[in-house]
């Protein structure tokens, strides 16, 4: 770090303070920081945030020498650089079981929880477009008396009984910006659309007739449509996403103090980060310590193994998969072969009309490289070769909608967007500016081969059609980040998967649906894809569970959702990955959310703060660090073991002999006896003791042990998968994935 760099300090002890104590803690930050500066009068110039509500720490401009000195201070736990993080519907709720034929079912979790009434959901994102109908307060009850938040002024912003709070945090972003940020950015108003989309997915109101360009019309709503919502703007316009740790920590500190019930966070690091060098891991720990579940996106760096973000066990980490709705556009070639693609283009071609077809690599300008032209990159296409034709562009590098814009500038009448090999069969319905269809890798190759084999190739692109009940679904999205966790492989991540492809939700009217400068279109609702979209689906579900089980801990809520998740699609077969192969728990965790069962899971794997501290001990942090981190005296056990950490999934990343894992389950249902059934990973012996558990009352806890043993030596050093299930006579099936790697 140079002198102009910025480093936040977190001595993240618990801080739930009176006004006097807040002043005292703030003064301690000033005094500590001042002792490392030439003059204490300079503190105000370098201090950016003083975290005092629930997190004890501060953020400041520091040079390398000052950082080194601070690291040597015994009262300082962690000093880490202000890192930038990235931003990772009308039908999706019916797909996961809340509705039938567009109406809520009597047995649905939404109905049981009265649609999340009284719950407060916070969203850390790009802010909110308050005028969206998804945030109207018609039929909303009064603002809960426990709410201590505010509606920050700026940008003509107004809150109501639905959108009860809005704050913005940009000092961390400003500290890293080479130029002063515009004054008009001092607002929680969403100018990018991401935050409005995610917040409305979690807790948006009922909005009949929502869709995009006439497609997917239905009633938009969030998972908890009667919940109150609050926006915490921590992300700002930049090439990489513009979400900085200092601002994220400040938002956590505020949200916890404001009295929220759920925190949704569709953002994260671009690569896995050690827990205590990660503002999101630190902030979420303090939220969970206060009983607030934190739901986070797994990241969009898939299908690469080990790419999953948010590996902390106190976080609820969500992958992304498809739903059974497709926006289809069919490509018909001159040889009569048909290929079904995806699109929500705002305009179409005449049905059945054929146009000349050209591969973008053959339409390049003399100054352009073939590989760049194949991607339809800016300034690569020759209008004399493209005009009046349908062009084939390869997915990758530049924006998918941007490719179509480049093609349109060159005179193309339509675009076929062909997947690269890595993207496989994953199709996305983008708001293209010209008639377009997105094809799989295999179909795209067939189109390119047709062009090569034909003197005068032609094609047509049909108008977009909305298809429902498509089989098989869900399918894992190729972009969804995968396990194993590189930070702690003994914790399986992601935890579950949820709808994250072509999700329709609210949007901003500040920019067009592509967010690209040329796009002058405006639409109040839009399709988006990413783990950013799957995360708020689970946040909405968590809100419902908070409503009907206010006494459940964040861990109990997570366990209920994980152990009732499903691993089969609507084809009654196992969930597939985007490449057509069977998906594994490294893609979907415990499975796809099945929330109606989560209201009554039977048993839960509960976890408390001491469990998390023991986990940190076993992970390698010493007692001194844990003491400061927790804010209370604590001594690490002599033999802290990851095998004893009570998690709803079980991962053994180094099986080279017998390994015994301990778990405990709490009864949250009626008295009964549960018996275990195991599907062992291949070539692994799995023994559970005891094999039955009797519960005489609610709240009773029982321990069991699972012993893993390789059945033969010399096994390949690769992961294998299985599961164990506790079942009773009342229809409960408490299922946990088993993940084993031979050492």
Residues serving a catalytic function are: 125, 194, 532
Give the tokens for residue 179: 């130029």
Measure the CA–CA gap between 468 and 454, rounded to whole angstroms: 35
Measure the CA–CA gap between 627 and 54, rounded to whole angstroms: 16
Give the tokens for residue 604: 């839960």
Angle of the 194-203 helix axis to the 531-548 helix axis, nearest 10: 30
Measure the CA–CA gap between 168 and 161, rounded to whole angstroms: 19
- The total of other beta-carbon atoms located within 10 Å of residue 211's CB is 20
CA dihedral in degrees (18, 23, 26, 28; nearest 10)? -100
Residues 54 and 253 sit within 8 Å (Cβ to Cβ): yes
Q: What's CA 80's distance to the chain center, in Å?
A: 24
Q: Where are the extended beta strands (E) located within 450-531?
A: 458-461, 465-468, 496-499, 503-506, 525-528
The number of residues making up the chain comes to: 743
Rounded alpha-carbon distances, angstroms, from residue 285 to 290, 535, 610? 9, 18, 12
Measure the CA–CA gap between 382 and 363, rounded to whole angstroms: 6
Give the tokens for residue 188: 């929680």
Please state the φ and ψ torsions of residue 666, each to the nearest 5 degrees: -110, 135
Measure the CA–CA gap between 99 and 102, rounded to whole angstroms: 6
Q: What's CA 314's distance to the chain center, in Å?
A: 15
Measure the CA–CA gap between 685 and 98, rounded to whole angstroms: 39
Residues 344 and 521 sit within 8 Å (Cβ to Cβ): no
For residue 235, give the DSSP letter: B
Q: Tell whether omega for the bond before 494 is within 30 degrees of 0, i.e. cis.
A: yes
Give the tokens for residue 566: 């499903």
H-assigned helices in 439-563: 441-453, 531-548, 554-563
H-assigned helices in 206-297: 245-258, 279-289
Sheet with 316-321, edge to edge strand ranges? 163-168, 228-233, 120-125, 262-265, 294-297, 316-321, 496-499
- The total of other beta-carbon atoms located within 10 Å of residue 80's CB is 18
Helices (H) and strands (E) in the chain, counts: 19, 37
Give the tokens for residue 116: 């999340």
Residues 720 and 704 sit within 8 Å (Cβ to Cβ): no
CA dihedral in degrees (511, 515, 519, 522; nearest 10)? -40
- The total of other beta-carbon atoms located within 10 Å of residue 543's CB is 34
Q: Which of 87, 88, 135 is nearest to 231 (CA)?
A: 135
Q: Tell whether omega for the bond before 44 is within 30 degrees of 0, i.e. cis.
A: no
Measure the CA–CA gap between 483 and 495, rounded to whole angstroms: 10
Give the tokens for residue 323: 């739903």
686 burial (CB, 10 Å; 0-12 / 13-18 / 19+) is buried
Nearest-5° Cα angle at 112, 101 to 537: 65
- Residue 62, helix vs strand vs coil: coil
- Residue 172, helix vs strand vs coil: helix
Rounded alpha-carbon distances, angstroms, from residue 391 to 99, 304, 337, 426, 741? 41, 30, 17, 20, 46
């Amino acid at each position: 770090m140079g002198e102009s760099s910025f480093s936040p300090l977190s001595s993240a002890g618990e801080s739930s303070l009176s006004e006097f104590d807040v002043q005292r803690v703030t003064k301690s930050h000033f005094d500590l920081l001042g002792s490392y500066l030439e003059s204490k009068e300079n503190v105000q110039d370098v201090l950016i945030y003083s975290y005092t509500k629930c997190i004890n720490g501060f953020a400041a401009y520091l040079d390398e020498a000052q950082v080194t000195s601070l690291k040597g201070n015994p009262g300082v736990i962690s000093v880490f650089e202000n890192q930038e993080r990235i931003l990772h519907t009308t039908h999706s709720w019916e797909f996961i079981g809340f509705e039938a034929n567009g109406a809520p079912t009597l047995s649905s979790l939404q109905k049981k929880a009265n649609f999340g009434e009284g719950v407060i959901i916070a969203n850390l994102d790009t802010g909110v477009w308050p005028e969206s109908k998804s945030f109207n307060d018609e039929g909303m009850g009064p603002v809960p008396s426990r709410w201590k938040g505010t509606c920050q002024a700026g940008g003509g912003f107004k809150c109501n009984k639905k959108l009860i709070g809005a704050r913005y945090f940009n000092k961390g972003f400003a500290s890293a910006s080479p130029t002063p940020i515009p004054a008009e950015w001092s607002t929680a108003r969403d100018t990018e659309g991401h935050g409005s989309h995610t917040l409305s997915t979690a807790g948006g109101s009922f909005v009949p007739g929502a869709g995009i360009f006439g497609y997917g019309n239905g009633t938009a709503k969030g998972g908890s449509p009667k919940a109150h919502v609050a926006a915490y703007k921590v992300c700002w316009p930049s090439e990489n996403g513009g979400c900085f740790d200092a601002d994220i920590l400040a938002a956590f500190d505020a949200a916890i103090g404001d009295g929220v019930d759920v925190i949704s966070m569709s953002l994260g690091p671009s690569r896995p980060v050690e827990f205590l060098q990660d503002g999101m891991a630190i902030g979420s720990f303090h939220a969970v310590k206060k009983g607030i579940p934190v739901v986070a996106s797994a990241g969009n760096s898939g299908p690469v193994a080990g790419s999953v973000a948010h590996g902390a066990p106190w976080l609820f980490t969500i992958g992304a998969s498809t739903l059974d709705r497709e926006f289809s556009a069919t490509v018909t070639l001159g040889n009569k072969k048909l290929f079904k693609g995806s699109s929500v283009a705002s305009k179409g071609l005449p049905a059945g009309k054929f146009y000349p077809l050209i591969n973008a690599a053959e339409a390049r300008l003399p100054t352009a490289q073939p590989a760049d032209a194949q991607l339809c990159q800016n300034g690569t296409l020759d209008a004399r070769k493209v005009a009046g034709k349908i062009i084939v562009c390869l997915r990758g590098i530049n924006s998918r909608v941007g490719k179509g814009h480049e093609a349109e500038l060159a005179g193309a009448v339509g675009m076929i967007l062909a997947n690269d090999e890595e993207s496989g069969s994953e199709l996305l319905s983008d708001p293209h500016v010209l008639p377009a269809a997105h094809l799989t890798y295999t179909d795209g190759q067939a189109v390119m081969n047709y062009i090569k084999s034909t003197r005068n190739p032609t094609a047509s692109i049909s108008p977009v059609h909305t298809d429902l009940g498509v089989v098989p679904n869900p399918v894992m999205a190729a972009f969804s980040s995968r396990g194993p966790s590189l930070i702690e492989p003994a914790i399986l991540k992601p935890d579950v998967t949820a709808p994250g492809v072509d999700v329709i939700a609210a949007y901003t009217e500040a920019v067009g649906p592509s967010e690209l400068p040329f796009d002058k279109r405006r639409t109040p609702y839009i399709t988006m894809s990413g783990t950013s979209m799957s995360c708020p689906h689970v946040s909405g579900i968590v809100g419902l569970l908070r409503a009907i089980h206010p006494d459940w801990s964040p861990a109990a809520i997570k366990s209920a959702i994980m152990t009732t998740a499903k691993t089969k699609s609507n084809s009654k077969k196992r969930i597939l990955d985007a490449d057509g192969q069977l998906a594994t728990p490294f893609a979907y965790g415990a499975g796809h959310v099945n929330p109606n069962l989560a209201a009554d899971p039977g048993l839960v794997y509960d976890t408390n703060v001491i469990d998390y501290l023991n986990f940190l001990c076993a992970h390698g942090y010493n007692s001194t660090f844990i003491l400061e981190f927790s804010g209370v005296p604590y001594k690490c056990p002599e033999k802290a073991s990851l095998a004893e950490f009570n998690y709803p999934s079980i991962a053994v990343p180094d099986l080279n002999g017998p390994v015994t894992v301990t778990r405990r389950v709490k009864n949250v249902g009626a008295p009964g006896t549960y018996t275990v059934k195991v599907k062992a990973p291949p070539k692994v012996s799995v023994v559970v003791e005891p094999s039955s558990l009797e519960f005489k009352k609610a709240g009773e806890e029982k321990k069991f042990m699972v012993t893993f043993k390789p059945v033969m030596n010399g096994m390949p050093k690769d992961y294998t998968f299985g599961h164990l299930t506790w079942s009773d006579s009342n229809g409960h099936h408490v299922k946990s994935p088993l993940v084993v790697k031979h050492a």
